[in-house]
Each structure stands twice: as structure tokens, then as C-alpha cells.
Structure 1
Amino acid sequence: MLQIETWKRVLIWATLALGIVLALPNGFYTRVEQRNDAVAAIDLGADTQENQSLAAQWPGFLPSGLVNLGLDLRGGAHLLAEVQVEDVYAARMEALWPDVRDVLRPERATVGTIRLIPSEPGELRVRISEADGMSRALELVRGLAQPVVSLTGAGATDLDVSSDGDQIVVTLSEAEQQATDERTIQQSLEIIRRRIDEVGTREPTIQRQGADRILIQVPGIGSAQELKEIIGTTAQLTFQPVVSRTDDPEAAPGVGNEVLPYLDREGAYAILEAAPVVTGEELVDAQPAFDQNGRPAVNFRFNPSGARKFGDYTAENIGSPFAIVLDDEVISDPVIQSHIAGGSGIITGNFTVEESTNLAVLLRAGALPAGMDFLEERTIGPELGQDSIDAGKIATIVAFAAVLVFMVLSYGLFGIFANIALIMNIALIFGMLSLIGATLTLPGIAGIVLTVGMAVDANVLVFERIREELKTAKGPARAIELGYEKALSAIIDANITTFITAVILYVMGSGPVRGFAITLGLGILTSVFTAIFVTRLLIVMWFERRRPKTIEV
């Protein structure tokens, strides 16, 4: 008997209603977007009359989730960056020198004098005067090695220590280099994401490409140069002992030292010890503030490890200058007046309020572990994005209208039922995209257009099967019931294979390919639901009301 239980009918209608309500905000995109921005600003403390007015544009009891527009629809900036992982090797070797010096000093009677000599980046060379003590020196330096923290480097140590005449040569092991590369890329991804999130951009795409490249796409931002200014600053903060000051940029700093310019003193330079006492990696917080003279500054706070090193150094070097260095420029070099315990302090300089705020953001987000070379950059203007939206709308409307007309001409009243289900299908797709916060791209629109064409396939299978069953003269009710039963397996099989393809595209692809896969996969799910349940419910309701003796499909 052709019937559907009451609880199934309620569930079907409730699902449709939920999909329509979730999709509704996309019909008022600009209004809802302004409302969401205003609510976010109010939550951050900007409770102004203007924000209150914008927040009231959309009822609070209705969903406010939107389908985010991708880079090709909204416009924005695209960057492809290559991370200079070799910089990390060099920094590791520079930081290792004090440890090597400290471990060899107690053995001077055996190894003789210890001297750091110039070496290639990523390599540390130390000369000892007693060749007979080389084996002991190698043993001591090898004791500084630590196990490699990675699955592929299990059992290996992070340092390779060898001798070259009277020199000790220290480099990173191959296993440690691989682990360092992986950590550097992952840390760069996380820091870039934090910096972009700090400025409140919507749905950025930040993902790894290849071994050492990062793809960054940010919709809604003004230009690629603006994006580079946000993420391109390394923000490497270090605290280094001051050896002396000079006005000669070509001055010989001596082994283990470096010459760096002052940020706000033209022609002035500082000779510093290259190995920092504390680095920005040990910062846990940085906030814009004002110093005792009312000038913009930045308060900072170290983690326990950094606080201990900072406190020990200041206790032992009272009366000595101490340089605060940001990206190879000395921003200040105060004299240590007393022991600074607690691991907190203040960075002063000739900052504006905006500069101190930006510096705090960069330091709080963390320092990029290595420099980046931008291999590719593009700016997509909002006009081009609007053209893409208009083209996508036209394509969708044309496909939608063509399918509606075809179904009515081919199947009459049953075609109208299929068209109603198709409209519900589109609403469900946008409702699901809004629910999961998906980003819609131009390939995603192509996936929706393809779904419109595929959505009626299941109905075509059912209607053709009903036509065949009507020829057996079993009556219209039995023909409709058998039509759905016998077409079900073909519908499931056809859509499962397409859904598997969408899953593979999502897993193996990236960027635009994933956008296409998401809309295609969701479209398959909603198409099967509307074809099997919604169209059938409409036909059953019509049949119960009219009770026709014959039907024409």
C-alpha cells in the first residue's frame, strides 16, 4: 500500500524547514555580514551606537551563519612563500657556542685554549691548542647532543661532532635536519595563521605545498603587499649583551660578535655578542603600553625558562648595557640597574601608538623561525570577484531553468514535483554549507551547477520505472510503490560512486579542487534525500487527495 508513516512525514518536513532557515541568511548576505562584524566588535569592547545599530539589522533568534566567499569571489591576496629552513641551522649553531665553551672550559688543562673561528652557516668550528686533548674534547661536546624528537629520527642524536686537524666541527645530523625542517614549516604555518587571525580576516587559506613552501590566500584584504606586511615581518626578538658602540658599519666585531644598526639613531651601530641570552621564542605575552614618561612602549613577559635566564643574567651584569634587538636592529640598549626577577619588562623606543600595537601583535603571535622568500604574489580585485559571482549566478540560473523546463515537458505533474524537490535541494545545500562554515569558490559554484543537473537523475530513474510498472496494469498506487522500490538500488549505486569520487578529490586535492569536492559531495547527499523522500512524499500527498484511477508520467 502506498503510504508514509506520520513520524517520517514530520521528520522530512522538519529537515526541509531546518535547511531553509539555515540557508536564509545568505539571501541577506550584506546585512547579516555587517551584523556579525558588529557583534564581534561589541564582544571585543567596541560597544558603540553604530555597532548596536548594525547588530540590530538581523533578528538574534535566527541563524546568522553565512557561506564564506572565497578569494576568487570576494577578491583578496594570494602569496606563495618559500621558507628558508637553512636559517634555522645557522641560528642553532650560533646558539650552541656558549654551551660548547662552557663544557670545555673545565678541561683547559687537557684541551688547551678554546677559540671560536669563522665557519660556514649551519656549522660551528672551535679550535683547541692541545691536539692530544682532541678525543676528550670530542667526548665532551658529543655529550651535548640530545635525542632527535621525531618518529623518523628515533634513536638518532641531533648533533654530528667530528674533528678537522685541531678544530672541532659541529653540525646538525641529517635526522635532526629533517625534524627541524618539519618543525620549522609547522611553526611557520601556525604563526602565519595567528598573525592573520589577529587582523580579523575571514576564512583565510593557509596550507603547506611541497617540502618548504606555504600557500596563503586571504579573501577581502586590499593587496598582496598589505598581506606581506602582516606576515612578512620575521619579528625575531633577542636580548644580547653589548660589547661596545661604534659609528663604523665596517668595524671588525671579532669572532662570535656582530655589528647591528640602531633603529632610531642614524649612523650609530652596536657591537653585540651574537649568541642571545634570551629570544622571543620564550615570550608568552606582549601588550602595548606606555612608559613612565607617557611614551608608547610594549610590556613583555617570559616563560619560566626565559625568566630564569633573564633574571640570572641581569643579576650578574648590573651596570652593563643590554641590547634589545628586533629583526637585526637595536631598538634600545638600556643599562641594567638591578636584578630583574619575575621575567617581565618593558621595551621602549621612539614608537607611535600604532607601531607599539603592531609590535605587540607580532611578538604575541610569535616569531617566524626563518625568513621567507615570496615566489608568487597576486592581488584579485573585488570587481573581478563580483564578475565571478555574476557569472556563477547566470550559469546556475540557466542550468536551473533548463532542468525545470525539461522535467515539466518530460514528466508533466510528476516533473513539477521533481522541480519542487530540486528547489528544496538547493536550499539544503546552502543550509549545510552555512552550518559547517564552508568557503564557496568558483569551482564550488561549478559543483552546485553540476548538482542541479545530477539532482533529477534519481527522479528520472524512478519515473521511468513507474512507467514500466504501469504497463502491467497493477494500478497506479502499486506502480508508484514498485517504481521507488526497484529504482532504489540503481540510485544508491550511482550516487555512492560519485560520492567516493568527491571524497577522493577532497582528500587528494587542495584549494579550488576541495571547494568543488565539498559542494559536489553535499549536493549528492541532499539530492538523494530529496529524490527518495521529498518527491515521494509530495506524490503520496497528491495521490491521497486525488485518488486517480490512472496516472500519466
Structure 2
Amino acid sequence: MKIFNYRLIILLLCIIFGVVFSIPSLLQTNTGKKIALGLDLQGGLHMLLGVNTHEAVGSKIKSIATTVKYFSDDEELLIDGLLINEDNVSFSVLDADEIVKIDTMLSGIKGLAITKNGLEYTIKLTPEDIIKTKDLAVAQAVETIRNRLDQFGLSEPNVVRQGESDIVVELPGIKTAEDEKAARELISKPANLELMAIDEEKNDQVNNMTNSQASSYGDVILEDTKNPNLKYLVKEIPILNGSQVIDAQVAFDQGNQAIINFTLNSTGARIFGEFTSKNIGKRLAVVLDGKVYSAPNIRERIGGGSGQISGGFTVAEAGNVAIALRSGALPATVTLLEKRSVGPSLGADSIRASSIALVSGFLLVFGFMIVYYKGAGIVANVALIANVFLIIAIMAMFGATLTLPGMAGILLTIGMAVDANIIIIERIREILREGASIPKAIEDGYSNAIRAIVDSNVTTLLVAVVLYVYGTGPIKGFAVTISIGIITSMVTGILGTHGIYQALIAKGINTKNTNKWFGAK
């Protein structure tokens, strides 16, 4: 039997890997991948947000109106009185021969309840589609907020849905009021970009017009973002919206002011090009979150599907708006329902308390194994140390977040790893009491114990997977550490210790003193 058997070599490689890749996390070096600390360990911001799902329904009604307008313009169909009401879209077809084309187009949109009275159409969403739209709005808001925070550069934000219309956002590492303000603005910003045609015929009357009068013309009154006294009368149905934006970047104009350049997808570029070619000499309002940022004259057809937003942005504001546009507009506004800050001092206390518990549990297990199992206890402890380093290294490699439940998971993993070794050692002691030699007792002990250990670890791993899939926040952290710990303990506690025993036997240890090696006479 060779000293350097394959089991021992695997254990040594695991130890080297564990030590090397856990150093950045343990020493908090400036380089290398490290474990991110959760909200409960480093402090940060916890928010409960409510999604105003009724707005998503209104937005979908508006998008239906945009589709009808674009289709009628593209097909040169004659329609009149296209209006967006509270819960429906209404319009009239002027030529009865064109009803077939309108019906064919509408049949391609799912979830519509269409009422026809002669040549007049009223379009609503079905009750089922209203429920589906609200549910989708919350799901999209979760994904949009998560994308924004990722691009903002925050480490391991936790964004999860809670109930029907609420979202929990946890932001570890938010320590200053400025950081908190920037994060909140980024999260809550609707970033609803719309390109809207100005009603040139009636715009000069906008200062003497009420909102209801504007609505009767199919228009809305919007304020200028820099001058609230400057108002625009724009067509209520937008030409384009933010759903067609595929990229947005910060740039600078000739006066070195921050602006935002945006790029449209192929559909948006085609619509934009066709609209500008038909409206040369008129103005187009660039509207962001209900404010007009600019209203340039259309001098020629604009192809290529690109445009810009200028409005006296600071560089930071332009950057946040660009992030919001890239990650997509929120389907509905969000309302802050609850906010609480976890200070870094509380996080430090949590780390200190949990570290004491971790070290204490570690030392107690160490002491018990050495006192009760003698040499076999030392071998098990070596595997235990390798297991802890390996857990930290793997978590760092995958950028996992460590929370208090995660630290509890590490401590529980230590107990499970020791339990596997105890089963093996007890099997070896039973065989030794029957008069077998140490080499035979070791081989038979591992053979007899392996099935029970694998079965128990696999069942625990399945439970951990279920916790990870259906759990949220800290529960996921607990499931991650348990899962990693189970897999690493199988390698170090079973394969590794077996390799150590084989190396010791090959080196020629005294195989007669069973009490010295296994605490068994």
C-alpha cells in the first residue's frame, strides 16, 4: 500500500484549494473573490414596497390604443375618435369595408373584451387578463428592480416578492444617507419614456385649457421638467414608449452637459422613422415620467432608431436614468410601505456573537473527538478543518452571501461531518472488538458505514434543495451553506480520512495498540 494514495491526494488538493481561496474572505484582502456579508452581518437597508398594480392595467389599455393607432396609420385605415377612457379604448371606423381588417388585428391580441355597436368599438380587458396583468406587473417590478440594483453596483441585493403586490428589498452595505437616497430613487423611478406628438393646432391655447378639455381632444397637458410654468399639449397616445428601448448611455453635449443617448429596437426604429418622415416641421416631445424633457422640431426623417434626452441632468442623475432605461421601465409605480436600517455596529455585534458560537462549537467538537477517540479523533479533526476551509472557498468562488442563518448552517455542517466520522469509527471499533486487525477493521468499517452515511446525507441534501427553491432571504443562505457542507464533508470526512488511515498503515504504524488509535481496548 502506497503512502500517497489517491484518497489522500484528493484531500491534500482540497486543503490547498480551501486555504488559497478562503484567504481573501478570512483576511478581507483587496484582491480575490470574497464571501459577501448579508444585511444582518454588515448592516444595510430593508424596505417593503407596494406595487400599484392598477396602473399596470391602465398602461396596458394605453398600449392597446397605441397599437390601434399605429395599425390604422400603417394600413391607411380611416378611424375617428380614438380615446383612452378609464378602463377602455373607444373609436369609430369610418368605412364599413375596413372592419374586417380591424377585427383581424384585434383578434391577434389576447385578453380583450370587444364590444361593437355598428361602426363603434369599445375595447376592455377581460377580468382574467386584468388579474394576469396585475400579477405580471409585480413579477416584472421584481426583475426590473433587481436588474437596476445589479447595474448600480450594490453587492448581493435581495429582491423577493411577498404576497400579492408587495416586494421586499434588502440592500447590504448601505451605510450613509446619500447611498440610501440614491438607492431609493433608483428603485422607485418609473423611467417611463414616451415619444409623443405635440398638438400643434391647439398648443397655443394650452395655458387656458383644463385637463378635461384636453382629454376631449384626445390630448394631455404636460409640464416642462425645467420650467413648470411651461406647458405642452401633446397627443395622449404616444408614438413610442420605453419598451422599445434596448440601450441607454450617458454622453455630453457641446456645452459639456450630461445627456442620455438611447437606442430603439428594430420595431421602434421603423415606427420612429415613419413618424418623423410624415411630420417634418412639427415637434416631438421627449417625455420621461410624465415630464417633457425636450420638444425638438423634426427637420428630416430620423432613421437608425436613436435619440437623446437632455434636461439639465447631473452626471449622477443621468447615470441613474440610463440604468433605469436599460433595465426597463417599471410597469407600475411602487410605494414605500416600510423601511428600517440595520446599522453596521449591529452587524459587527452579530458577527462577533456568531463567531464566538462558531469557534466554541468547533473547539468543543475538537476536544470531544480527541478525548474519546484518541488518534482517530485527530484524523477526523484534520478532515473537519479541511471541510471548513473548503466551504468558505466554494462560497467565495460562487459569490455567495453569508448571513446569520448561514453561519448556523456551517456550525450544523460541522456536527454532521463529525457524525459521519463517529459512525465510521464506531463500526471500526466493533470490528476490532471481534478480534480483527486494524487494517481489516478500517476497510470493513468504511464498507459497513458508507451506505448509512450516504443515505442520511442525500436525504438532508434534498431537504436543503427544497429550502433553497421555495425559501427566501436568510433561508436560502442557510440552505446554501448546508448543501455545500454536505458535499464537502462527503469528500473530506469519508474519502479524506480513509486516505489518511491508508497512508498511516503504509508508513508502518503500530497496528496493535487499538486504544491509542481508536480508544477501543
Instruction: Give the TM-score taking structure 2 as reference length.
Output: 0.87
Q: Against the structure 1 CA distance between its residues 345 and 514, is the aligned structure 2 distance closer, same or farther, given a 3 Å change threshold? A: closer
Shift of 1:416: 1.9
CA distance in 1, matches of 2:393, 2:412: 18
Equivalent position to 1:115, from 81, 90, 108: 81
The equivalent residue for 1:195 is: 148
Structure 1 stretch 368-377 or stretch 452-461: which is displaced more? 368-377
Contact kept, 8 Å, 1:475 with 1:550, in 2: the verdict is no
Q: Which amino acid aligns with 2:89?
A: L
Alignment pair present for 1:430 and 2:392: yes
Amino acid at match of 1:10: I
Q: Note if 1:86 corresponds to 2:74.
A: no
Residues 95 and 464 from structure 1, CA distance in 2 versus in 1: closer, same or farther, beyond 3 angstroms?
A: closer
2:65 partner amino acid: W
Q: Secondary structure at the match of 1:457?
A: helix
1:144 matches 2:143: no
Measure, in 2, the Cα distance between the counterparts of 1:282 and 1:118: 21
The letter of the residue matching 1:162 is: T
Structure 2 equivalent of residue 551 of structure 1: 514
What pairs with 1:307-326 in structure 2 (closer than 5 Å)?
Answer: 307-326=269-288
The equivalent position to 1:125 in structure 2, one of 71, 90, 100, is 90
Deviation of residue 410 (structure 1)? 1.2
5 Å matches for 1:260-275? 260-275=222-237
Contact between 2:3 and 2:503, CA under 8 Å: does it hold in 1? no
1:277, distance to aligned residue in structure 2 (A): 1.0
Q: Is the 8 A contact 2:36 2:399 kept in 1?
A: yes
**Kindly tell me: are residues 335 and 80 of structure 1, through their superposed partners in 2, closer, same or farther at Cα, counting changes over 3 Å?**
same
| Equivalent residue number for residue 482 of structure 2 | 520
- Match in the other structure for 1:501: 463
User: Aligned-pair distance for 1:381?
Assistant: 1.9
Higher relative contact order (CA 8 A, sep 6+): 2
Q: Which runs of 5+ in 2 are unaligned?
A: none
Question: How far apart in 2 are the matches of 1:97 and 1:433?
Answer: 50
Identical pairs, percent: 35
Superposition map of 1:61-80 within 5 A: 64-80=32-48
Structure 1 stretch displaced more, 289-298 or 411-420: 289-298
- State the Cα distance separating 1:128 from its structure 2 match: 7.7
1:138-537 mapped onto 2 (5 Å cutoff): 141-147=102-108, 157-163=110-116, 168-174=121-127, 176-177=129-130, 180-181=133-134, 183-222=136-175, 225-243=181-199, 244-245=203-204, 246-247=206-207, 250-251=210-211, 252-255=213-216, 256-537=218-499
- Superposed CA RMSD in Å reads 3.0
Pick closer, same or farther for the CA change 1:436–1:316 going to 2, 3 Å: same
Paired letter, 1:145: L
* Structure 1 residue 161, shift from structure 2 partner: 0.5
Q: CA deviation at 1:516?
A: 0.7
CA contact (8 A) 2:159 2:170 kept: yes
| SS of corresponding position for 1:497 | helix
Of the structure 1 ranges 4-13 and 327-336, higher mean CA displacement relative to structure 2 is found in 4-13
CA 1:365–1:404 in 2, change beyond 3 Å: closer, same or farther? same
How far is the alpha carbon of 1:458 from its aligned partner? Answer: 1.6
Counterpart CA distance in 1 for 2:466 and 2:39 is 23
Kept in 2, the 8 Å contact 1:19–1:428? The answer is yes
SS at match of 2:391: helix
Label 1:276 to 1:487 Cα distance change in 2 as closer, same or farther (>3 A). same
Q: Which amino acid aligns with 2:33?
A: G
Is the CA contact (8 Å cut-off) linking 1:147 and 1:158 kept in structure 2? no
Q: What is the letter of the counterpart of residue 103 of structure 2?
A: R
| Cα separation, 1, equivalents of 2:85 and 2:349 | 56
Following superposition, the deviation at residue 275 of structure 1 comes to 0.5
Structure 1 residues 303 and 462, CA, compared in 2 at 3 Å: closer, same or farther?
A: closer
Q: Is contact 1:103-1:140 (8 Å) kept? A: no
Tell me, in whole angstroms, the C-alpha distance in 1 between the residues paired with 2:155 and 2:312: 33
Query: Quick check: 2:4–2:503 contact (8 Å CA) kept in 1?
Result: no
1:338-376 alpha-carbon deviations (Å, 9 max, x no partner): 332332233233333333333333323332222223333
Structure 1 residues 305 and 118: alpha-carbon distance in aligned structure 2, compared to 1, 3 A threshold = closer
Q: Once the two structures are superposed, what CA deviation does each residue of 1:285-312 show, in whole Å capped at 9, x if it has no partner?
A: 3222333444332223322222222222
Give the equivalent residue in structure 2 for 1:46.
Answer: none
- Deviation track 1:237-265 (CA, whole Å, cap 9, x = no partner) reads 11111221533584521322111111111
Displacement of 1:211: 4.5
Judge conservation of contact 1:79–1:374 (CA < 8 Å) in 2: yes
**1:545 to 1:265, Cα distance in 2 relative to 1, 3 A:** same
Shift of 1:448: 0.7
Q: What amino acid is aligned across from residue 429 of structure 2 in structure 1? A: R
- 1:17 aligns with 16
Is contact 1:138–1:162 with CA below 8 Å preserved after alignment? no
Provide the C-alpha distance between the structure 1 equivalents of 2:493 and 2:298, rounded to a whole number of angstroms. 76
1:221 is matched by which residue type in structure 2?
I
After TM superposition, give the deviation of residue 137 of structure 1 in Å. 8.2
Helix, strand or coil at the partner of 2:141: helix
How many residues are treated as equivalent by the alignment? 504
Change over 3 Å in CA distance of 1:509–1:96 after alignment to 2: closer
- Separation in structure 2 between the aligned mates of residue 423 and residue 370 of structure 1, nearest angstrom: 51
Q: Secondary structure at the match of 2:329?
A: coil
Whether the 8 Å contact between 2:158 and 2:169 is mirrored in structure 1 is yes
Q: CA deviation at 1:489?
A: 2.3
> Structure 1 unaligned runs (5+)?
36-63, 149-156
Contact 1:195/1:362 (<8 A) preserved: yes
Q: Deviations over 1:101-127 (max 9, x none)?
A: 67599887xxxx943467323x12346
Letter in 2 for 1:475: S
